[in-house]
Structure formats: structure tokens, C-alpha cells
Structure 1
């Protein structure tokens, strides 16, 4: 069984993001945003994945026999470093050769590694003296006291080479912070000849660096950035989980270096000096450009307002049948509702929780929150519900990487309002996207459930493609209640001496077995000469056993069609396996599973990617779509994505992104535009 390396596969995905910045059919400012996304993704890779890659490489260099251990594959560090270097080179060329000239052609000029126009120097100096200077903390690098200097994670600095008039041959070095986390990275300047100018904070400081060191001559000024290991062991938590997570967040920023990014113009002796001073290993040194943290390009000002520079507006669609219903909860009790974000308005989800908070017949609300919006209206609705006397139980996952602090803040706020807060389970993450509302009318209890492929987060719902099912299906909602009971008590749910979950697929209980059974059914059908097909859409595919099942299915004659956005460790070993990737204006985030079942197709959605962590170390929930009309909606959305011949690529055995060719005479299909048109037409 062939498996592609997960980290090289992820780099293939990030390269596809970079390719979008190179695509001239994409509007200019959107291309710049794709550069920003590429840079942000790479930063996270160095924080989260590079520590493991470096550790394996170190182990194998010191103990080559460890490669015989099945748990350890050979070191991929050289291949990873080579690919990152290649991509960064293309990144620089894309920005300087294509995008900056294109900006200038649209009357916007970003100063980038060039002298500042004389007419701007006075304004830049004034800005430096009045706005920037108070944020600077220059430090001399005393070679005998390296412990006195600590580089903060992913913060920007310049190392300044200086000499004094008294000792012109004696070089001294100082460190100056670039406070881009406190001040805007970009500042607009006065137009010159109908061209709008923008200067970076880095250059505001460089232009005035001599002011900081009176009596010295500045010989050179070189940017640096250090990235630190962010992979704290959240699985070992016990007892006071909240306190431990808060401690781990603080420790994360003190993690060991995984990348020391330096200006390529930096002289070798200075580079060697800094490596020794900050205890940087050779494999952690990464050559970069004059400017780092170019994820900040997401905030590049747009002084020229032109519709051609950004994607055309694609407003979220109203669902007409929901606009006129007096109570959304009543509608859910009558029929299943499926919402496709961001194509349809996420406001219906907000409305559901808002109504539940005020409805006098609603007695109990349960929900899992993995990544809470910074200004969460859902969390505010839960607070209102608790203050209105309802029993509100919220499972807050404190181990959601890089969102821990925000989740803790909201958890404390909700708890203060009377919400019952349940914190993380040691050794498990709860990644399921589920909610349950219980309403009592006399002696009758009504249950309404929400299950989704993405977080209950109205901020990300604007640009993540996800699906939310609202249902009163008795079997599914009762199983949701059992799962919430388990999350509160940690006691295995038992139902009538049978398996507790018949409708829901729940990781740690039945999810892997049920998916395996459905794959086996397709294999059996193929061997009997019946049509057999598996269609899967995921963010990531890496778990070996599930990959083995898919290989087995393809070898038996099952057509295996996959849409995998990011990590993909399966290879198209035969003609029955096809793998597509779609990167476009929205982040493809949904998980959908369709099994042909000899013409009686079964359709599932859910939160679970097929990764080791999702299937074996998390609580995940996948759920069936029973309503035939809603099944058709999902199948049509998948059909449009499989038909995409403008942005979709096919992954080959080398994980290269091969553009899908538009056949002569065929109609161009952009899946995301076509899906927006499709959900708009659903109202008709």
C-alpha cells in the first residue's frame, strides 16, 4: 500500500494557494490575499508540523536503526526544506515581478525594497517621531549575555550593524523591534502624479534608524524573525483543565525555535554570529527576503476603489421559505432544513438560538463549541437563555489550537451568567459540531437538533463552505441527548442493551466501523457486477486503515471519487481512484460521504476528516441526510464540484496539482459560482 508523506502533501496544497496568486484570471487584490494566506499557512506549518519533522530527522541522524521501527518513516526534512525554498522563491517572484507592477498599473505603489520618494520623507519622519518611536525597544547584543535577549514568536525585528566615530573598525550590533502587532503594517502616503503610495512599517523604521543610535554610523539593517514550536501536549491534561490550558498557552510562546528567518542580504559572519547567539541549528536557518510576516498583505490598503480589483459581490441568499415562518423552531419540528454556508445566510442559525433563548417553552439547550467567534452572537444568545431561566449546557473545547484563549474568555463569561460549562476531556478533543434544544409543552417534549460540518461560528461562516442540518428526527435527536449525557458524565451510553448509536456515526463508538461496513458493501456489490461508487469530500485524508479500505475498494472495481482540500496521503494507484482539489474564494471545509448502495444512495455529512487524530483521538459526529430533497441538494453540489474545470486540479502520484482541462466545446464550470447560482435557484 502506497502512502504519500503528509507534510509534502500539505505543502502541495499550500503551493496550490500560491498558484492562485499567480492566476491572472483572479482579481488583483484577491491574488495578494492568496499570498497572505500562503504566508500564514506556512507560519503555522513551522509552528505545528516542523517540530515533529526536525525531531524525526534528529532521531534518525543519531540512531539510523530507528528507521526500522514501523512507527518512524525516513526523514523527509531535506525534501521539505527544498520544496519550501522553491515555493518561497516563487512567492518572491510573484510579488515583485507580477503583483507590485500590477498594483502600480492601477495607480497604487507599495514601497518594496527601494528608496522612498523625496516628497514622502518628511511625512515618514513625522509619522516615525509621533506614532512609532514610543513602541520601539532597541537592545544592544552583548555577545557575553545572550540570555538577556529573547525573540518573541513570529514578531519582526531588524538587526542593525553599527560603528562609532571613536572606533570605526569595531562593529557593534543592536536589535530593534518592528511593532506590527501594535501599529498598522501599512501606512498610506500622499499621492504623487495620480499614484497612491503605501509604505510598510519596516521601512518607516529603516528610514529613521539613525535617529535611534546617535553618534553611530549604520552599516546595515537586516530583518529577522523566529518561529517557535506551538505543539504543546494538550492530551495529557487532567484535573483543573482550565488552569493547565492557560499555563500551556503562555509556555507555547516560549517554545523552542523551529525556524530562524533572515534577510538574504545579511552577511555570512553576522548570520553565523546570530546563529550562535540565539542557539539556532543549521537546519533551522531559513533564507528569506527583506520583509517577513507577509501574511499582513491581507490588510493592504486599497486606496483605488475599483470593482475589477476584487471578487464580484456574491451575497448570501435568503431562504424564502424561512423568511415568512413566525417561529423557526416550529418549522424545524415539521421538516428537516439544510443550510449551505456561505451561499445561504447563516443568520438562520443565529435566529434559531435567539428564538430558543426567549421561547418560554424551551427548557434546555446543549451545544459543543470548538472555535467560538470573537464577538459570538451564539454565545450571547446562550447567556441570554441562561439568564432567562433555561438550563444551558455548553461543552467548550479548550484544546482548539490557537483559539484556546478566546474559548477560555467566552467560557468564563458564560459561566458567570449561569451557563453550565463542561471543559475538555483529558486525552480527547471534542470536535463534533452539534446542538440540541428541548422544548416542553405540558407532558410533551419536543427535540430539535443542529448538526454541522463546521463550527458554530458566524465569522468563519462568511468564507468557509459548510452545511448545517436542523432536524427533529426522533432517533437522531435522542442519540444527541445520549452523547451530551456522555460528555457530562464520561459514562459510556447504553441504550436498550444495544449499541447506543444507530443513526449517528460517533468517533470512539461506531464511526470507523460503520464507514468500513459501507465501503465493504460497495466492494461486495462491485464483485457481484453491480454498480459501485464511493464519493468523499474531506479536508484531510491520512488515516492508514481507511486508506487501505479505499485501495481495496478501488482494486475490486469500486469507483472512488474524492475531493480533498489539503493533506492527502492516498495516491491514484489505479484508474478507479480520482482525487480533486479545489482552492477558490471560499475555503472548502465540508465533509460529505456518498455511498452508491446499488442505486439507493446513502448520504452522510459531519465533522470528521479521515485523520488519525479525528478517528482515534476525538469525539466526532457524522450524520445521515434522510430527506430525499436535501440529499439531492448535496449530490448536486458535489456534482458541480466534480465538474469544475476552471479552478479544480487533479492530484497525481507525485501530489502535483494538474489543472482540469476544459474539453473543446464544453462549458466552463466554476464550482463555487455555480453552487451560488444553484442555491439561489432553489428559491424558485
Structure 2
């Protein structure tokens, strides 16, 4: 094992989520966007409890394991939740009220609003409620669904009621007259006497259970599709990882509920009056003040692609590199639409990891199959939390005649690639699409990514080779004859090539030559790659890293580490190696995580066109110059704001890149 200094992955992720939380506290961020950042923080934390907390709890009980980690994580979360409450109640709710938007937050409902609340309860909400009486000294008789909301109602007869809050079926918030808003929870609280008659209500507290989402599909027998469908059912029945309760709840009631629902003490987490505050993203807002939201940044058209002719013909003649969402994603949809209807297109190949629920791209693939084209789609059924959507689309495509490949045993296919084969006379055209992000029109509006459209012979031939491999599903070790000279493909050459490029920079530094590496990632955790970066820095290589989320490397001399959290989610992966002036630039789907490099099929692709190489360098330079939203990560994974020098102009990377692409 390599013994190198590393930051903990979970604490580093919590540092990222804290940066999201600080955006909600930033007065420079528009008010309603600050509320949205609170929602993102809450949603992120829910996923952390579903995915990472089970592993931390298991590790905590292993002999000789670091038993200080779980308490450190829990204390960090506790502090962040306390800050969350202070930001919401101390800053945002008063600021919203000043804008004329009032959210009832544990307050008595005004007399003028009681009738609309009452009408909504009886006419709409009541039919979704399933109140249950429980006796805490008797065996458990009910099951709390994952991340569902409940009210625990204390009754004067010594029993307790449990009422579901049907936020999965109804809006979490009710609009009232005069720009007033009330939680669905409080609509129900106001009418508990109807649900529990013939007794007195002595208390009411909100609770929520979060359950383990990490289910291994290898536990199940049968075909992969059946395995994943079974997994989705089992996930909802997973063991608890968090019992979130209203901190005002009496301690004896909390302990009795924990025993009744078989909740361990370590899973108890105190919260506020309301849970699932990711629903703040649905909060109705009214304001004539345009400063309450981000100003519009409409996606920029690309002049070379705006003609009436065929997009595929344009790509055949020259590479196109798109920077989304700054530039229009419509061209990607058009690529698939043209391929589906062009009579000369005979074959289409594509990998799908996360697609939109109403995906135009998938509809185009279905049309292509119905138009008689050979369409092959690798659908990754193991894309966490998107499994059900992927299963639904896979079945629809298969019914239409699309050849569906259901993953590869032991591997996830995380690559974002497509290939169109067009035959004109005796000549075949190969037109490829390679991206840093998913083929998803919905997330493309707020994820920053790059998409290469190319007919480069070497790249497209290697794409075809990769799809040949994916159709067999045999271990990569059986494919020694497969060589990728242009593409970097995990399981084949990706780690070796990245390692070689890092070591080349180190050797150049030792020779006294210029040596520099710039890498932008979502996550950096893989130990061997971090060790290579440490060694390169010691040799004198200047390394700039932009890492959005998990970051286990410890900054030191020669290694500068930044994080950018802003309007858009920074999602692209970019790798730039100076190579003594013969710069090499790659983009792709691969973070430097154990899972990406060792348990997935990933593809990184070169940028050969000199115009686009200049654009990529310029975009990275703008991000490295950000002195408004960028933060420096120190050795303790703290987010340290970039200090702007006196008279230095403010640079916001995302605004700067938007202005830049308008000139491209």
C-alpha cells in the first residue's frame, strides 16, 4: 500500500456541501437563488446519508478501524445543520418577507387564511392521509418509508398517532392570498383534531427515516434487468441510516420511538420543525424585483452550425467543440435527430447513463430503429437513483427494435459517447460524439460540460472498436489486441497514459524544462494518481487543480487547489499537460476515483483542433482567475475565499466564460 497523506473523502465531500451552504448565505447571490442553494444542500445531505453513512457506520464497528471518523462526520453535519437553520430563519425568511413573500414557519395562521387552509385540507389533502394509532410498548405495526415525512402526534389517552405528510403526491407548499405560503405539514397540523377525535392533542413532532441505498445487484439471481428491478424494491426497505426528529421532541419520546422503530442511537439526528427542505426548490415566489434571481444567460448559437444544411456534413468537414450550457445543447439533439432520419445513415451506437425523463434523444433513437436503421444502445442500469428511468426507456427502445446492451458484469459504463455510421456509395462515414456529461437535455441547462463532434478517423475507428467490446461483455484482459492510440479508455489504457503524462512532466522539471499540469475534476480520490501528482510536484512541476467535490489530495508546494460553486454545476473533466510546449489536452467522463478508474468504462478524448485547444486553455484560465466565487482548499479542506488584490478587477468564471463564448 502507498503511504501518502490523504484527506478523508467524506469530510472533503462535506466541505463541498458546506460551500454550497455558504452560497445561501452570500448576499451577493440573488435572494431566490440563495433559497435554491439551501435546497441543494439539503438534497445533497439526504443522498450522503443514503449512500455514504452506511459505510461509515459499518467501518465504525470494525476492530482497529479509525473510530474517530464517524463522530467527526456527525459533528460536522450537526454544525452545518445549525448553520442551515440560522441562514434560513435569520437571513432568508426575513429577506423574503421584505420582498413581499411570507412563508409561515411555525407561526400562528392569520384568521384571514384559515378558511382557504381548511378548504384545502378537506377537499384535497384528507384523501391522501393514513393516520395510524400506535402503542409504543407493543410490537412494531407500521413501516416508515424512506425519506417520507411523518408527524408523531401525542394523545392524552397515552397512545400516539402517526400521520403521513403526502408530499410525494401533493405540493409541499400551499399558496395563500396576499403572497402568503404555508407548509403542507402545517395544513395537516391545523386539523389533527379531525384525524384523532375523542382525545386531546398534547404534542406534535415531525420525523423522517433515511434508509441505506447501497444495494449490491449481485445479491440477486436472474437477468440483470430483473436484478435491478428487485434492487429498487429492496432499496426502499433498506436499513435505517438516519432517524431525523424535531429537536423539541421530549427525550423519553424520542427514545421510545427509536426502540419502537428499531433505530440505533447512532442513527438519531436532531433537526428542526420541518424536514426534506430540499423542497424549498418548489417554493412559490413572487417579486417584481429582477435582482432576486440570476439575470438571463440564454445559450449562445454557434454560427458554423446555424446553416440550413446537414449538421452531419459540417462535422464531416471539421471538428466542433461545444461548451454547454453557455452554447446551445440543441445541436446534440439535432445530431441524433438527423441520424434517425438521414437515409444514408445505416448504424447508430450510443451509451446512455442518465437521460431526461422525457428524452428527445431517446425518442430519436426509437424513430431511427423504426426507420430501419441498426441502433445499438448501451444502457447502464446501475446508474444510482436513475435505474427506474433507465429501465423504462430501455424497455421502450427494445419494443421499437433497438438492440439494448444491459451493462457489463462487474463494471459500470460511464462513458458518454456515440457513433453514427453513414454510407454513401461505397464509402462509409464515421461521425462521433464524445462528451464530458450525460446525454440529458434537462441537466444540460445547468451542468457545465464540453461535447466534441468529430469525424477524426483515428477517434471514430477507436469508438467503433469500443462498441465492439461493449457488445461482448467479456473481461478487458481478454482483449489484448485492442489498442487505443487516440482515446484513453478505463480498463485498457487510461490510467497508464495519465501516469505516463504526469511522469513526463516530472522528468521535464528535473531537466530544468517548463513543466505544468492543469486538471479539472468533480472528484479526486484515487490513491495512485494522487501519489503521482505528489511526486511530480516534488520534482518541480507546477500543478493547478480545480476540484468541485471530493478531494483527498493535500495541497503542498507546487500543488494549488481550487473549488468553484456557482450558478451552474461545474461538471467537466479537463486534463492539460504542458509537454515542453507540445501541449496535450484531454477531456472526458472520468473522475480520478477508485470506481471510475478501476470499476467503470470511461472515455477521455483528445482535443486536436488548434482553435478549440485555445478555447479550452482560455476557459481554464478564466476559472483559475476567479476571485469572486472560487475558493482555495487548504490542508484541512477548508474553503478559503480567494483574496482579491487592491484595484484588481472582479472575475467571476461563469460570467466570464459566457462573455467569452459569445465572441467565439
Alignment match, 2:278? 295
Alignment match, 1:638? 620
Deviations 1:549-571 (A, max 9, x none): 00000111000100000000001
For 1:253-264, what aligned pairs fall within 5 Å after superposition?
253-264=236-247
- Given that residues 486 and 492 in structure 1 are in contact (C-alpha distance below 8 angstroms), is that contact kept between their aligned partners in structure 2? no
Alignment match, 1:56? 59
Alignment match, 2:592? 610
**Secondary structure in 2 matching 1:502:** coil
C-alpha deviation, 1:141, in angstroms: 1.1
- Given that residues 493 and 500 in structure 1 are in contact (C-alpha distance below 8 angstroms), is that contact kept between their aligned partners in structure 2? no
What is the rounded CA distance, in whole Å, between the counterparts of 2:502 and 2:222 in structure 1?
40
What is the rounded CA distance, in whole Å, between the counterparts of 1:92 and 1:590 in structure 2?
32
C-alpha deviation, 1:215, in angstroms: 1.1
Q: 2:233 aligned with 1:282, yes or no? A: no
C-alpha deviation, 1:305, in angstroms: 3.8
- Given that residues 476 and 492 in structure 2 are in contact (C-alpha distance below 8 angstroms), is that contact kept between their aligned partners in structure 1? no
- Given that residues 626 and 653 in structure 2 are in contact (C-alpha distance below 8 angstroms), is that contact kept between their aligned partners in structure 1? yes
What is the rounded CA distance, in whole Å, between the counterparts of 1:628 and 1:648 in structure 2?
28
Q: 2:428 aligned with 1:425, yes or no? A: no
2:205 to 201, 222, 228: 222
Deviations 1:176-228 (A, max 9, x none): 0000110100111111xxxx110010000111111111111100000000000
Q: 2:557 aligned with 1:564, yes or no? A: no
Q: 2:566 aligned with 1:584, yes or no? A: yes
What is the rounded CA distance, in whole Å, between the counterparts of 1:496 and 1:188 in structure 2?
61
- Given that residues 236 and 427 in structure 1 are in contact (C-alpha distance below 8 angstroms), is that contact kept between their aligned partners in structure 2? no
What is the rounded CA distance, in whole Å, between the counterparts of 1:500 and 1:494 in structure 2?
12
Deviations 1:576-619 (A, max 9, x none): 10000000000000000000000111000000000000000000
Q: 2:511 aligned with 1:528, yes or no? A: yes
Inter-CA distance 155–105: structure 2 relative to 1 (3 Å threshold):
same
For 1:113-512, what aligned pairs fall within 5 Å after superposition?
113-143=106-136, 145-163=138-156, 170-191=157-178, 196-234=179-217, 240-491=223-474, 499-512=482-495
Alignment match, 1:166? none
Alignment match, 1:32? 35
**Secondary structure in 1 matching 2:382:** coil
**Secondary structure in 2 matching 1:147:** coil
- Given that residues 235 and 428 in structure 1 are in contact (C-alpha distance below 8 angstroms), is that contact kept between their aligned partners in structure 2? no
- Given that residues 136 and 159 in structure 2 are in contact (C-alpha distance below 8 angstroms), is that contact kept between their aligned partners in structure 1? no
Alignment match, 2:633? 651
Deviations 1:97-123 (A, max 9, x none): 000000000011000011111111122
Inter-CA distance 74–545: structure 2 relative to 1 (3 Å threshold):
farther
What is the rounded CA distance, in whole Å, between the counterparts of 1:146 and 1:352 in structure 2?
59
**Secondary structure in 1 matching 2:655:** helix
C-alpha deviation, 1:145, in angstroms: 4.5
Q: 2:76 aligned with 1:83, yes or no? A: yes
What is the rounded CA distance, in whole Å, between the counterparts of 1:478 and 1:619 in structure 2?
17
- Given that residues 503 and 536 in structure 2 are in contact (C-alpha distance below 8 angstroms), is that contact kept between their aligned partners in structure 1? yes
What is the rounded CA distance, in whole Å, between the counterparts of 2:125 and 2:482 in structure 1?
63
C-alpha deviation, 1:499, in angstroms: 4.9
What is the rounded CA distance, in whole Å, between the counterparts of 1:493 and 1:249 in structure 2?
29
**Secondary structure in 2 matching 1:410:** helix
What is the rounded CA distance, in whole Å, between the counterparts of 1:422 and 1:81 in structure 2?
41
> Cα RMSD over matched residues?
1.4
- Given that residues 325 and 331 in structure 1 are in contact (C-alpha distance below 8 angstroms), is that contact kept between their aligned partners in structure 2? no
C-alpha deviation, 1:239, in angstroms: 5.2
Q: Which contiguous aligned blocks of 4+ residues in structure 1 show a shift greater than 4 angstroms?
A: 235-239, 491-499
Structure 1, unaligned stretches of length 5 or more?
A: 68-72, 164-169
C-alpha deviation, 1:304, in angstroms: 2.5
Inter-CA distance 468–659: structure 2 relative to 1 (3 Å threshold):
same
TM-score of the two chains, using structure 2 as the length reference: 0.98
**Secondary structure in 1 matching 2:164:** strand
C-alpha deviation, 1:235, in angstroms: 5.6
What is the rounded CA distance, in whole Å, between the counterparts of 2:409 and 2:257 in structure 1?
40
C-alpha deviation, 1:325, in angstroms: 4.7
What is the rounded CA distance, in whole Å, between the counterparts of 2:19 and 2:393 in structure 1?
35
Q: 2:100 aligned with 1:111, yes or no? A: no
Q: 2:606 aligned with 1:624, yes or no? A: yes
**Secondary structure in 2 matching 1:148:** coil
**Secondary structure in 1 matching 2:529:** helix
**Secondary structure in 1 matching 2:505:** helix
C-alpha deviation, 1:338, in angstroms: 0.4
Inter-CA distance 595–238: structure 2 relative to 1 (3 Å threshold):
farther
What is the rounded CA distance, in whole Å, between the counterparts of 1:74 and 1:447 in structure 2?
55
Bigger shift: 242-251 or 207-216? 207-216
C-alpha deviation, 1:142, in angstroms: 2.5
What is the rounded CA distance, in whole Å, between the counterparts of 1:259 and 1:623 in structure 2?
41
- Given that residues 134 and 162 in structure 2 are in contact (C-alpha distance below 8 angstroms), is that contact kept between their aligned partners in structure 1? yes
What is the rounded CA distance, in whole Å, between the counterparts of 1:517 and 1:526 in structure 2?
14
Inter-CA distance 200–441: structure 2 relative to 1 (3 Å threshold):
same
C-alpha deviation, 1:75, in angstroms: 4.3
C-alpha deviation, 1:491, in angstroms: 4.4
- Given that residues 238 and 426 in structure 1 are in contact (C-alpha distance below 8 angstroms), is that contact kept between their aligned partners in structure 2? no
2:87 to 82, 87, 94: 94
**Secondary structure in 1 matching 2:60:** helix
**Secondary structure in 2 matching 1:668:** coil
What is the rounded CA distance, in whole Å, between the counterparts of 1:386 and 1:132 in structure 2?
45
Alignment match, 1:167? none
C-alpha deviation, 1:493, in angstroms: 7.8
C-alpha deviation, 1:429, in angstroms: 0.2
TM-score of the two chains, using structure 1 as the length reference: 0.95
Bigger shift: 487-496 or 91-100? 487-496
What is the rounded CA distance, in whole Å, between the counterparts of 2:221 and 2:580 in structure 1?
48
Alignment match, 1:70? none
What is the rounded CA distance, in whole Å, between the counterparts of 1:250 and 1:223 in structure 2?
25
- Given that residues 136 and 257 in structure 2 are in contact (C-alpha distance below 8 angstroms), is that contact kept between their aligned partners in structure 1? no
1:549 to 505, 528, 532: 532
